[in-house]
Structure 1
Amino acid sequence: MIRQVRSVANAVLAAGLAVSGALLGASPAAAAAAPTALPASQFTLTADYHQFDTLNSALVTTLGTSAVHTVMENANHDRQPLPSSFSVAGLSTGFRFDDGDNSDCQSFPQGITTSRDAVGTADSGNYDGHQLVLVSWYTKDGCGGAQQRSRITLADWDATFPNKYRKILLVEPTGTAAAPSFKDIPIHAGGVSWYGNYLYVADTGRGMRVFDMRKILNTDTGGTADQIGRQSGSVYYAHNYAYVLPQIGTVTAQTTSADKLAWSSISLDRVSKSIVMTEYTCQSSCTDYPNRPPRAVRFPFASGATTFAATTTASQALQLPWYNLNGVASHNGRWWFNSSGQKKLYYWTPTAGPSTFAWVGGGESISYWEDTTDPDLLWSLQETTGGRNVFAVTQATYGGG
């Protein structure tokens, strides 16, 4: 059950929308072409969770770590209620980032996952005592510049705690054991999944980068905005971030297909204990993305673990009939795909076939929220500057049943 206390503004919003019928319609349109099966054996992963062990051990010794509960005790940004102008069918709850993050033309929210992904429904989905919504971001070197770095935000979603969130910079360890350091990770961070203690972040051309939520490092605030890593002695700057999360390993994708996978978005399926991914592709005329039908692939975790085996073969692969896909979710044999370009949410099961629903503009990743007492939800978000809403809808509204 979500224990977040709704603000008066949100209560008024819900009531007003219910009366006015202002919610976007959720009636499915005419059935579209359906996904078709591909040979799953042509997609494999290799995993290395110890890639940076020596450097990370040295960084922990030098800088020390902060547990998630400590980070949240020092959360320094106020999340806001959803605005009255926001509408989507099946709306359950949500929030907006503070004004600075909502209007930032250099940084863009992309992936979403929650502590319910991490630990399930036990103890209300609390990780280290907190029920959390985690969002990944990428930052450009200017409002129209190149990707420069990536980060996550942790937002408390529990009435026990203030309506706060905290930013944590994602970094890659560098240097030596005697003089460890770290550098920015300039990836799109289009999808993110939290499973157990591990955070998996999509890396478009590679697969996934892996982080350990037990190894959040303390850094020195101050310095200039562009300073990153070891400065001198034991002084470590991180663009004035107080916390950084260092990469621990890499999950690399291989394929015998002519086209390598473009890891645009990922999501956790707790039922089948797997991560699903999908590709952002165009039907034609794209210069920065592939012009071909996209695929979705499921990769199972090692038995009884929250890690992948050294080598993993996909358990399911699909050719998709839809394009411009920024989000994917799967749960108990059901699939959802978000097309930001079409403002559509596609639902599909092998037995029921496909359905198409109206969806928000600027939509990004999706995370399935299991609940033992209330309806299950789909969490999602918008990247649009000035309209960065993080929201949850009842999954049954979108074909889930």
Structure 2
Amino acid sequence: MQVDNIGSVCRTHARRAASAVLLTLAMLVSCLALAPPAMAATVLARISPSTVSTFKLNTVHTPDVTGDTSTDIWERYQTGIQRAEAGGAVTKVSALSVAESAQHIGRPLLCHATRLNTRYIPDGFCWDEGDDRSSNYNNTGTDPGGWVPQGLTASHDSDNADGTINGRHVYLASWYRGKNGSQNEFARVSFVKNTGSSTAYGHVLLVEPTLDGSFTAVTRTHTDGMVWYGNRLFVANGGELQVYDMRHIWRMGSSSERVGVANGVSSARWHAWAMPMIGRYWTGDRQNPRGCQAATGSWVCLGSLSLDRTGKDVLVSGEYRSPAAGAGGRVIRWPLNSSTALPESGSGAGIATSTAEEGYTTPVWAMQGVATDGTYYYMSGQCPPGWNGDVPPDHEDAFSCIHRARKEEAPHVFTMAPRMTQNLSYSRFSGRLWGLNEKINTAEGDRVVFSIDVAP
């Protein structure tokens, strides 16, 4: 069932069609959602405007992470992209063509336990077995490395009037590749076409263009969050916001371990496609964007991303705090310019420093994702003690919870969710909240991409 196409009437019919037993169970579970707030003593608290005004996305005539100040990084990337495309080693393709390539065949519907409240009509899909079971946690020195999903966005975030690409629902997931304990070796994006009865997708390596018309792999990137906005694709990397352009997806000329163009032939580490970065923003230290994991003061950590289109377009970022650090992750709202599809700047220029417009601190522990429907904020993180039985909330086998709160109100658990749920994304077309999880289970898999109905 492709639930993005279901309106309120269909949702009502689906609920009425449930059996008496399921309805009884759903009522019992939903009562849990009315339990006392997850963190009753605190609220989704507003950050003072004077503090918010110190939160910046900095760019323009700034050095890149190598310290090169010879030219503006956006101009340099643009020149590199133009030279690569003019040289004929790469061919531009569409996002939909990558999804429809069926390079990988996933599994429709939810193939693992999720603990999602049946009241909200859970749906979704799964990866193929290789992507479901991949791991990066082997430190033996012989680990071949593996991919782990993090960010999520979809065509419902794009500018298309119906939230689809030529009538197809397309979903994007970001992954980092880890090896021997390193969590940021390479980065990729999956382009998925899900019809409800079939799931197919292809992987695209993220690369950095060079002035000689070639490119290198993007490294030291955790792909913490992702948003598709207009023609842009924003990818969060801690204290860095990377920018890509959906009009520049490249088909490679060959398949090998090499990354770049050699003798007129392109390759992207066994990926059939690559996507070049077009620019960068930083919230703090450009030389060490991952150092914001313990960010304080004006240095904001972009631990997750989502898009709010319920009013003026806004990029919503969330900060992850480790369980040992407790609650207090910040939810920051960054204004967007719809005409440039970039963060808004006070000067009105297309590429310039942008200042946050609003911020909150959350009482949710280990917040991994945050999205809003314009009324409520939905935050994925740890469940309160006791919700996983005897399993501690921070244990890797504990299920996550999605907490819901209005601004300056205490959050309540809206529903339990898959283990290690990461980014969230709200579809204004269907009234559904989407998410994905990263749990590693090399034997059986434990990953899903899910959605639930949060419409009134």
Q: Which category describes the TM-score, using the shorter chain as reference length?
A: 0.7 to 0.9
Secondary structure of the 1:52 match is helix
Q: Which has the larger share of strand?
A: 1
Secondary structure of the 2:217 match is strand
Look up the match of 1:294.
329
Cα drift, residue 36 of structure 1: 1.6
- Residues 1:23 and 1:393: Cα distance change in structure 2 (over 3 Å): farther
Look up the match of 2:111.
83
Mapped pair 1:329 → 2:329: no
CA–CA distance in 2 between the matches of 1:119 and 1:127?
A: 10
Look up the match of 2:215.
181
Amino acid at match of 2:433: L
Look up the match of 1:202.
236
Look up the match of 1:228.
259
Secondary structure of the 1:301 match is strand
Look up the match of 1:211.
244
Q: Which runs of 5+ in 2 are unaligned?
A: 7-13, 61-73, 136-145, 286-294, 346-351, 384-392, 394-399
Amino acid at match of 2:279: G
Q: Which residue among 396, 403, 409 is the counterpart of 1:346?
A: 403
* More off after superposition, 150-159 vs 209-218: 150-159
CA–CA distance in 2 between the matches of 1:340 and 1:110?
A: 16
Q: Which residue among 405, 418, 423 is the counterpart of 1:365?
A: 423
Contact 2:103 2:202 in 1 (8 A): yes
Aligned residues with identical type, % of pairs: 27
Secondary structure of the 1:261 match is coil
CA–CA distance in 2 between the matches of 1:134 and 1:315?
A: 27
Contact 1:379 1:393 in 2 (8 A): yes
Q: Which residue among 84, 89, 93 is the counterpart of 1:66?
A: 93
Contact 1:172 1:185 in 2 (8 A): no
CA–CA distance in 2 between the matches of 1:30 and 1:263?
A: 30
CA–CA distance in 2 between the matches of 1:318 and 1:108?
A: 28
Look up the match of 2:194.
157
Mapped pair 1:35 → 2:44: yes
Look up the match of 1:139.
177
Secondary structure of the 1:2 match is helix
Look up the match of 1:46.
58
CA–CA distance in 2 between the matches of 1:209 and 1:330?
A: 22
Q: Which runs of 4+ in 1 moved over 4 A?
A: 14-17, 47-51, 254-257
Aligned pairs for 1:88-107 (under 5 A) are: 88-89=116-117, 90-105=120-135, 106-107=146-147
RMSD: 2.9
Amino acid at match of 2:133: S
Secondary structure of the 1:125 match is coil
Cα drift, residue 339 of structure 1: 0.5
- Residues 1:333 and 1:84: Cα distance change in structure 2 (over 3 Å): closer
Look up the match of 1:115.
155
Cα drift, residue 87 of structure 1: 3.8
CA–CA distance in 2 between the matches of 1:352 and 1:317?
A: 14
Cα drift, residue 282 of structure 1: 3.0
Mapped pair 1:21 → 2:52: no
Contact 2:46 2:408 in 1 (8 A): no
- Residues 1:292 and 1:391: Cα distance change in structure 2 (over 3 Å): closer
CA–CA distance in 2 between the matches of 1:34 and 1:283?
A: 18
Amino acid at match of 1:44: K
TM-score using structure 1 length: 0.84
Secondary structure of the 1:188 match is coil
CA–CA distance in 2 between the matches of 1:346 and 1:188?
A: 24
- Residues 1:296 and 1:127: Cα distance change in structure 2 (over 3 Å): same
CA–CA distance in 1 between the matches of 2:98 and 2:306?
A: 24
Contact 1:283 1:291 in 2 (8 A): yes
Cα drift, residue 359 of structure 1: 1.9
Mapped pair 1:376 → 2:413: no
Look up the match of 1:394.
453
CA–CA distance in 2 between the matches of 1:22 and 1:240?
A: 46
CA–CA distance in 1 between the matches of 2:403 and 2:150?
A: 19
Contact 1:3 1:157 in 2 (8 A): no
Look up the match of 1:8.
none
Q: How many residues align?
A: 371
- Residues 1:315 and 1:355: Cα distance change in structure 2 (over 3 Å): same
Cα deviation 1:65-111 (Å, max 9, x = unaligned): 11223323423111103226444111332000001110111211111
CA–CA distance in 2 between the matches of 1:237 and 1:15?
A: 51
Amino acid at match of 2:56: T
Cα deviation 1:146-184 (Å, max 9, x = unaligned): 42111111111347x95311111111123x33x422223
CA–CA distance in 1 between the matches of 2:404 and 2:75?
A: 37
CA–CA distance in 2 between the matches of 1:209 and 1:229?
A: 19
CA–CA distance in 1 between the matches of 2:91 and 2:353?
A: 32
Cα drift, residue 291 of structure 1: 6.7
Cα drift, residue 19 of structure 1: 6.3
CA–CA distance in 2 between the matches of 1:23 and 1:83?
A: 24
CA–CA distance in 2 between the matches of 1:104 and 1:80?
A: 16
Cα drift, residue 23 of structure 1: 9.8
Cα drift, residue 249 of structure 1: 0.5
CA–CA distance in 2 between the matches of 1:196 and 1:303?
A: 8
Contact 1:268 1:276 in 2 (8 A): yes
Higher alpha-carbon Rg: 2
